[in-house]
Amino acid sequence: MDDKIKGDDKLTILAVDDNSISLATIEQEFKGTYEVVALNSGVRALQYLKQQTPPDLILLDIQMAPKDGIETLREIREMEKCAGIPVIMLTSQREKQNILESSKLGINDYVLKPFKTQDLHDRIERVLKSEMEKRLENR
């Protein structure tokens, strides 16, 4: 992680959404700035996280099947190496219950879909900057 702080490597974003248009938009928009890993289900995301180096940030859709974003996040938070990864939830739902539930699981932000790419970019930057500052303070 120290190399990433110095800027030697791109930060990695794991984007999890069963909507192929949303995934393609995220990949296209952010691939120049970040290493983007795009997966179309919570199940695949959990498999990836068990086998790979944890990403620097997760974009996670709430409404997915068979495992929704809240269930997926709950399992991510139980994984020791992934418990502290910052998460931005993506949702087309305005239901307060989902936002409340994901907040209890420690999300950093949420974005309503359809999203404006500049808004998502600004939120990602803010969350990553905040995380980097925390890491530097804890050294």
- Render pLDDT for 23-40 as a digit per residue (tens, 0 to 9): 999 999 999 999 999 999
pLDDT of residue 8: 54
The b/e string for 2-40 (b: 16+ C-beta within 10 A; e otherwise) is eeeeeeeeebbbbbbbbbeebbebbeeebeeebebbbbb
Residue 5 has pLDDT above 70, yes or no: no
Domains of the chain: 2-130 (3.40.50.2300)
Comparison of pLDDT for 136 and 72, the residue scoring more: 72
Q: How far is CA 48 from the centre of its chain?
A: 13
- Render pLDDT for 40-63 as a digit per residue (tens, 0 to 9): 999 999 999 999 999 999 999 999
Q: What is the pTM of this model?
A: 0.91
Q: Report d(CA 116, CA 87) in Å as an integer.
A: 18
Q: Report d(CA 112, CA 91) in Å as an integer.
A: 5
